Amino acid sequence: MPAVPPAATARRSTTRAVAIASLALTLGAMPAAPVAAQAVSSPAVRGEARPAKAAKATPAAKPSKAAQRRVSSPKIQSDNAPDAVTYGRRDDAMALADQLAQQHGLAPDWVRAQLAQARYQPAVARLIMPPPAGTAKNWAAYRARFIEPERVRAGVAFWATHQRWLDAAAERYGVPADIVVGIIGVETFYGRVTGNFRVLDALATLSLDFPKGRKDRSDFFRDELGQFLRLAHTEQVAPTSIKGSFAGAIGLGQFMPGSINRFSVDFDGDGHIDMANNPADVIGSVAHYLAEHGWQRGMPTHHAVKPPVDTADRAALLAPDILPSFTAAQMAERGAVLDAAGAAHPGPMALVELQNGDAAPSHVAGTQNFYAVTRYNWSSYYALAVIELGQAVAAAR
């Protein structure tokens, strides 16, 4: 899902009918998983035993008084546990409603009424947590989740169906079709997996009951909750009707509400922006988002590289992480060996390292365009999966 920068761009004058009436997303089930977590339907039970022939009924034994007390006694819940039903009775939720109303120019009573319908979702609090400490990153395993035959075939079909809009986005924004196809494929399997959480519940849970055990991002989600309510109010759609990922991302491109408000475009010119069901708007918006985050027309995303043998030199090149910081000459001075195209690259690059569990790590020299893809999801693993899925789909056409 696109990461949201702190500064907002000017809101376009076109009507933002995000067609959220259909954002109850019948397209499929993140986190996408980023990527977003994918909802999996419970399989049918096979080999289920047929009912046995009814036996002659016998009177049931009367339960003891102690057993009756055990059955009727309600389960006691900690006073510190979040309200599992609704946020409407919580003072902090209503205070947040007043704050968001003031920030986004909404009527306080309306915002209170919407937030009062939000429900705490334990699954959201669980899914937002990072992997257990000590879990080794593995690029080969991560790659295999996305660059696989079924997703590649779906990407070929998506490209064939929407080539007109992919070509138009490449012409207008300079973002090649394979990058847009790679992003939509990784994010939602081309619309198959878009999330089945009520976005209102997800954002309220992460705003008011962000789980302990990781860096607190409740401020980010409070801002997104406000952006979401503003979006729903503008489009005159009930916030409870909109579904998305456990993190509150919406539609084929898994845009957060703030990204919809800032970067979505009416790409087919029909006067509406539909990030759920209109691939033209999704394609144009994804390309526009990347262009706004530094994508350079015609520049490769990365080059092949062998990292320095010397541990100090390698550490120095890895220190900036994915931020392009070194010229080809500076990388060579530190002992990195670039391919011919990388050695001739005119701009800064980053030595990007991807762990492979117990095996040796993989490395690429990421350019400004590699960094631009990470602005959609702040992960080098994600960025390279997007790039290589797009390449695989292009090769299979």
Q: Which of 50-54, 286-290, 300-304 has the lowest mean pLDDT?
A: 50-54
Query: How many whole angstroms separate alpha carbon 387 and alpha carbon 287?
Result: 14
Kindly state whether residue 126 falls inside one of the protein's structural domains.
Answer: no
Total domains present in the chain: 1
Query: Over 70: is that where the pLDDT of 29 sits?
Result: no
**Tokens matching residue 274:** 């539909």
Q: What are phi and psi of 49, to 5 degrees?
A: -70, 140
The answer to whether residue 202 scores a pLDDT higher than 80 is yes
Is residue 16 pLDDT above 90, yes or no? no
- What percent of the chain stands above pLDDT 70? 79
The rounded percent of the chain whose pLDDT value lies above 90 is 73
- State how beta strands 197-198 and 337-338 pair: unpaired
Residue 331 lies in a domain: yes
For residue 374, CA distances in Å to 35, 157, 216, 378 come to 12, 26, 21, 5
Catalytic residue among 187, 224, 235, 353: 187
Q: Which stretch of 56-65, 171-180, 366-375 has the lowest confidence by average pLDDT?
A: 56-65
What is the reported pLDDT for 18? 41
Lowest mean pLDDT among 32-36, 100-104, 127-131, 295-299: 32-36
Which residues make Cβ contacts (< 8 Å) with residue 285, sequence separation at least 6?
A: 253, 255, 263, 264, 265, 267, 273, 275
Read off the pLDDT of residues 307-316 as tens digits, 9 standing for 90 and up.
999 999 999 9
Whole-number Cα distances in Å, 84 to 77, 89, 120, 188, 219? 10, 11, 5, 29, 22
Residue 45, both tokens: 């039970």
Torsion 361-32-203-237 (CA) sign: positive
Token pair belonging to 174:
């300079």
- pLDDT-derived band of residue 84, with 50, 70 and 90 as boundaries? low
**Residue 224: φ, ψ to 5°:** -65, -35
Greatest pairwise CA separation for the chain in angstroms: 89
Distances (CA, A) of 87 to 17, 58, 96, 209: 28, 47, 11, 11
Partners of residue 238 on adjacent β-strands: none
Confidence check: pLDDT of 363 > 50: yes
Look-up: residue for tokens 């939509």? 184
The answer to pTM > 0.85 is no
Domain assignment present for 277: no
User: What is the model's pLDDT at position 82?
Assistant: 57
Give CA 224 to chain center in angstroms: 13
- For residue 223, tell me if it sits in a domain: no
Assess if residue 344 is contained within a domain: yes
Residue 71 belongs to a domain = no
Is the pLDDT higher at 13 or at 181? 181
What average pLDDT does the chain have? 84
Cα atoms found within 13 Å of the Cα of residue 176, Cβ hemisphere only: 17
| The pLDDT of residue 368 is above 80 | yes
H-only helix segments in 209-303: 218-235, 257-263, 279-292
Q: Is 172 left (phi over 0), alpha (psi -120 to 50) or beta?
A: alpha
Helix, strand, coil: what percent of the chain each, to 5? Answer: 45, 10, 50
Residue with the larger pLDDT of the pair 86 and 153: 153
Report pLDDT for 44.
Answer: 31
- pLDDT for position 206: 98
Average pLDDT of the segment spanning 333-340 = 97
Whether 292 is catalytic is no
Q: DSSP letters of 32-73?
A: -TTTTPPP-PPPPPTTPPPPPPPPPP-PPPPPPHHHHHHHHS
Tokens of 309: 């043998």
pLDDT category of residue 276 using cuts at 50, 70 and 90: confident
pLDDT tens for 245-256 read: 999 999 999 999
The answer to whether residue 200 scores a pLDDT higher than 60 is: yes
Query: Residue 339 domain-assigned?
Result: yes
What domain range includes position 308? Answer: 302-366
User: Is 353 part of any domain?
Assistant: yes
